[in-house]
Amino acid sequence: TSEGHYKFISHENFEFELGGSINPLEIVYETYGELSPEHDNVILIHHALSPSHHVASHSEEDKPGWWENMVGPGKPIDSHKYFVICIGNIGSCYGSSSPLSIDPKTKKPYRANFPTLTMNDIVHSQKILLDCLKIKNFHAIIGNSVGAMLSLIWGILYPDTMKYLVLTSSSYKAYPANIANRVVQREVIQLDPEYQNGFYETNPTNGLKIARKLGHFTYRNPADLNQKFSNNHKIAPNLPCEVENYLEYNATKFATQFDANCYLYLLTAMDLFDVTRDYEKPLEVFKKIQAKTLVISVDSDILFTPQQQAELFQCLKDAGAHAHLIQHHSSYGHDTFLVETDVIGKYIVDFLSQ
Amino acid sequence: TSEGHYKFISHENFEFELGGSINPLEIVYETYGELSPEHDNVILIHHALSPSHHVASHSEEDKPGWWENMVGPGKPIDSHKYFVICIGNIGSCYGSSSPLSIDPKTKKPYRANFPTLTMNDIVHSQKILLDCLKIKNFHAIIGNSVGAMLSLIWGILYPDTMKYLVLTSSSYKAYPANIANRVVQREVIQLDPEYQNGFYETNPTNGLKIARKLGHFTYRNPADLNQKFSNNHKIAPNLPCEVENYLEYNATKFATQFDANCYLYLLTAMDLFDVTRDYEKPLEVFKKIQAKTLVISVDSDILFTPQQQAELFQCLKDAGAHAHLIQHHSSYGHDTFLVETDVIGKYIVDFLSQ
């Protein structure tokens, strides 16, 4: 419980929601700041689809994290004040159990034999770790995008463990337009001859790159792309223009870091996400939430549209939750939480001091 | 010059803007109504990327066209009054010269050896046909999407041949966000092992289907998709949900009709489209237009956004053109011109009677 990088290994069977189990369960995580003697200063941050548990650097030599300007000493989520923990999602490729993990039965990576993953599975794995760390209560649970889905599940499954819940650029279920985009991403990866039905020896980067480009469209608003490359001209068919080079650069960077199966498993978990799934009356599930909840919605987000977030907020209100909605104006679309950390940070600080 | 289906063959060399030539040049077209003795009742309709020159049926036995409710006796574009002609774009797969045409040198289809195609090439081929038909003047030239790009080029290259110009859901150049989407569509087709660098024996339908799904996202607004499938639930990873089935159905229908190379050539022509390309002062090109011009913009169009169409309108106004802008409200996005033919028809009728 002091600042650093950690790996947790459990040798209990970990059972997945839709069947299958793994053993061991491995979970990587990072912490910032010091746990107070009363254990009352914990902030759990959930990372999104592509980032890792490396939220911010621990030293000058350390590489910057995905929320570098948000977490650290004197920053909006101040590690002088809070004990911040971010857990690497199982299914992802940064060290927690995933399709890349070695299956003890075969001594080879699970690949496509890894059990189907749901958002609930990720939360259950986190709960095992946190129980083991004797962390039972949270000052706040904060998440963006997929991270907000996980945060919402925490608010529902363990409602009396947190004071504040912050849900940025997210929704309470997978919407058809989101599923449609992910279906195509999945199909592209599976079309790559190197994918080998998921049992590849080398990562099928061609398909993964194209899938990522497709995902990228939904992370930024088209108007932002048009603005950024306003002098863009396609001169000749075989001469890539600026926007093509930009997509290629970003997709290549992603495909050299991320594993195709991990990506596919996480996309499926997103498709299956719906906190109201098992409830005859959807409102019942929102009635469980006890935390003060902040929904931050960005007007240019075409992935988790303002409408989806307004619906999430309305569900919370209708269920009588203590909920607050911020409709933030920005041109950065879904990625705003990564770009405008100063404003988003201020929203969060103000909310946590209510 | 009476109603029917026709095929025109020219045995002059047809030279392409960016190099290369074909011989013969073949052009299919359909006409509706009768040409007046004064040749003053001609309406040229340009079709979009996927449809053919079959705008409407000619009899009850004939299959419906893509603008069935718009063109015909007593319909908004009334074939009792007008002589309507729609020309199959070269490059497309419905009978005009394209990568599917036989290269006389090899006696095999051109495939990827077909010359690079531009929108100007399509217009030049149309001009050859219409000159041959002795059609020199138009009451109106009307186009939607890609068809509006062709219409705009007509207005610029042959400004004194038309009274009215109607440009629906289009723009005056390819924007970065549009190019980005098409880049990914192209890459998906090329990833298909059956594509064989464009020299396939059987159409690479797997890649083509995925590309089409990706295109489809931009034809309809995500909110419309969410509305249409509001009861959609992804139950299990391998069980397709409603929106998946819908995309699959439409993509399969497209891929069984359209040729992959034709699609790729037309996408490239769209990427290269920019009427201001060769002008130091972009406004100069718009000053050429003499027709009364109507720009119809749809607020939910995420492909040719209202902003792009407002820019087109502004260019026309700044150049002193007689231009009118209709900002139409609809949830059907880019496809509105195919769906809301009653309203779009009324806009056009009102405009043509000014």
Over the stretch A35-89, which tens digit does the pLDDT of each residue have?
Answer: 999 999 999 999 999 999 999 999 999 999 999 999 999 999 999 999 999 999 9
Closest chain B C-alpha to A340 CA, distance in angstroms: 22
| Phi, psi of B274, deg, nearest 5 | -170, 105
- Chain B residue with minimum CA distance to A273: B234
A176:B277 CB<8 A: no
Which tokens belong to B86?
A: 């729609």
Residue B282's contacts (CB-CB under 8 Å, 6 or more residues apart) are B276, B315
Q: Which residues of B touch A223 (CB under 8 A)?
A: 177, 305, 307
Number of neighbours of residue A262 by Cβ within 10 angstroms: 22
pLDDT score at B129: 98
Q: Is B275 helix (H, G, I), strand (E, B) or coil?
A: coil
Q: Show the low-confidence residues of chain B (pLDDT under 70).
A: 1-2
At A354, the pLDDT band (50, 70, 90 cuts) reads confident
Residue B18's contacts (CB-CB under 8 Å, 6 or more residues apart) are A236, A237, B115, B116, B118
Closest chain B C-alpha to A335 CA, distance in angstroms: 16
CB pairs under 8 A between A and B: 137
pLDDT score at B354: 85
Q: b/e for A52-73, b at 16 or more Cβ within 10 A?
A: bbbbbebeeeeeebbbbbbbbe
Of A188, A26, A147, A21, nearest in space to A93 by CA = A26
Report the alpha-carbon distance of residue B51 to residue B67 in Å, rounded. Answer: 9
| Residue A353 designated active-site | no
Closest chain B C-alpha to A149 CA, distance in angstroms: 16
Q: Which residues of B touch A205 (CB under 8 A)?
A: none
Under 8 Å between Cβ of B262 and B146 = no
- Chain B residue with minimum CA distance to A245: B180
B176:A228 CB<8 A: yes
Report the alpha-carbon distance of residue A340 to residue A342 in Å, rounded. Answer: 5
| Phi, psi of A245, deg, nearest 5 | -65, -40
Residue B314's contacts (CB-CB under 8 Å, 6 or more residues apart) are none
pLDDT at A170 over 90: yes
Residue B250's contacts (CB-CB under 8 Å, 6 or more residues apart) are B212, B213, B216
Report the alpha-carbon distance of residue B150 to residue B61 in Å, rounded. Answer: 31
Q: Is B3 helix (H, G, I), strand (E, B) or coil?
A: coil
Q: Which residues of B touch A268 (CB under 8 A)?
A: 237
Q: Which of A175, A207, A233 is facing B191, going by the closest CB pair?
A: A207
For the annotated catalytic residues of B, the residue numbers are 145, 301, 334
Q: Which of B226, B236, B237 is facing A175, going by the closest CB pair?
A: B226
Under 8 Å between Cβ of A87 and A135 = no
Report the alpha-carbon distance of residue B81 to residue B67 in Å, rounded. Answer: 17
Q: Which of B187, B242, B307 is facing A223, going by the closest CB pair?
A: B307
When scoring A16, A178, A184, A195 by the number of chain B Cβ atoms within 10 A, the one with the most, hence best to mutate, is A184
Q: Which of B187, B225, B244 is facing A177, going by the closest CB pair?
A: B225
The pLDDT tens digits for A134-159 are 999 999 999 999 999 999 999 999 99
The CB-side HSE value for A270 (13 A sphere, CA atoms) comes to 30
Report the alpha-carbon distance of residue B114 to residue B93 in Å, rounded. Answer: 13
B179:A305 CB<8 A: no
Under 8 Å between Cβ of B291 and B165 = yes
B222:A305 CB<8 A: yes
Residue indicated by tokens 């011109």: B337
A184:B210 CB<8 A: yes
| Phi, psi of B85, deg, nearest 5 | -130, 135
Single out the catalytic residue among A50, A98, A145, A169. Answer: A145
**E strand or H helix at B310:** helix B306-318
Which tokens belong to B235?
A: 């139950």
Report the alpha-carbon distance of residue A170 to residue A155 in Å, rounded. Answer: 14
Query: Cα angle at A159 between A156 and A160, to 5 degrees?
Result: 175
A241:B179 CB<8 A: yes
B187:A210 CB<8 A: yes
- Chain A residue with minimum CA distance to B277: A233
A223:B177 CB<8 A: yes
Q: Which residues of A touch B222 (CB under 8 A)?
A: 175, 177, 302, 305
The pLDDT tens digits for A181-210 are 999 999 999 999 999 999 999 999 999 999
At A3, the pLDDT band (50, 70, 90 cuts) reads confident
At A1, the pLDDT band (50, 70, 90 cuts) reads low
Under 8 Å between Cβ of B115 and B97 = no
Closest chain B C-alpha to A118 CA, distance in angstroms: 10
Residue type, B49: L
A187:B193 CB<8 A: no
Q: Are strands A4-10 and A25-32 parallel, antiparallel or unpaired?
A: antiparallel
Q: Which residues of B touch A271 (CB under 8 A)?
A: 234, 237
- Mean pLDDT score of chain A, rounded to an integer? 96
Of B354, B278, B287, B348, nearest in space to B317 by CA = B287
Q: What is the DSSP letter of B288?
A: T
Under 8 Å between Cβ of B293 and B140 = no
The pLDDT tens digits for B253-284 are 999 999 999 999 999 999 999 999 989 998 99
B176:A229 CB<8 A: yes
Residue A104's contacts (CB-CB under 8 Å, 6 or more residues apart) are A23
At A2, the pLDDT band (50, 70, 90 cuts) reads low
Q: Which residues of A touch B192 (CB under 8 A)?
A: 191
Q: In angstroms, how far is the first alpha carbon of chain B from the final one? A: 27
- SS3 per residue for chain A: CCCEEEEEEECCCEECCCCCEECCEEEEEEEECCCCCCCCCEEEEECCCCCCCCCCCCCCCCCCCCCCCCEECCCCEECCCCEEEEECCCCCCCCCCCCCCEECCCCEECHHHCCCCCHHHHHHHHHHHHHHCCCCCEEEEEEECHHHHHHHHHHHHCHHHEEEEEEECCCCECCHHHHHHHHHHHHHHHHCHHHHHHCCCCCCHHHHHHHHHHHHHHHCCHHHHHHHCCCCCCCCCCCCCHHHHHHHHHHHHHHHHCCHHHHHHHHHHHHHCECCCCCCCCHHHHCCCCCEEEEEEECCCCCCCHHHHHHHHHHHHHCCCCEEEEEECCCCHHHHHHHCHHHHHHHHHHHHCC
At A11, the pLDDT band (50, 70, 90 cuts) reads very high
In Å, how far from its chain's centre is CA B312? 17
Length of chain B: 354
Q: Is B165 helix (H, G, I), strand (E, B) or coil?
A: strand
B234:A18 CB<8 A: no
At A250, the pLDDT band (50, 70, 90 cuts) reads very high
Q: Which residues of A touch B243 (CB under 8 A)?
A: 176-177, 179-180, 183
Which tokens belong to A166?
A: 């912050």
Q: Which residues of A touch B223 (CB under 8 A)?
A: 177, 305, 307
Of A55, A203, A26, nearest in space to A142 by CA = A55
Residue type, B288: K
Closest chain A C-alpha to B221 CA, distance in angstroms: 9
Closest chain B C-alpha to A236 CA, distance in angstroms: 7
pLDDT score at A230: 85
Q: Which residues of A touch B230 (CB under 8 A)?
A: 176
Single out the catalytic residue among A53, A124, A328, A334. Answer: A334
Q: Considering all CA atoms of chain A, what is the largest pairwise distance in Å, rounded to the nearest integer?
A: 65
- Rounded to two decimals, the pTM is 0.94
Report the alpha-carbon distance of residue B28 to residue B87 in Å, rounded. Answer: 6
Q: Are strands B102-103 and B108-109 parallel, antiparallel or unpaired?
A: antiparallel
A176:B268 CB<8 A: no
Closest chain A C-alpha to B315 CA, distance in angstroms: 16
B234:A191 CB<8 A: no
Find out whether the peptide bond into A115 is cis, omega within 30 degrees of 0.
no
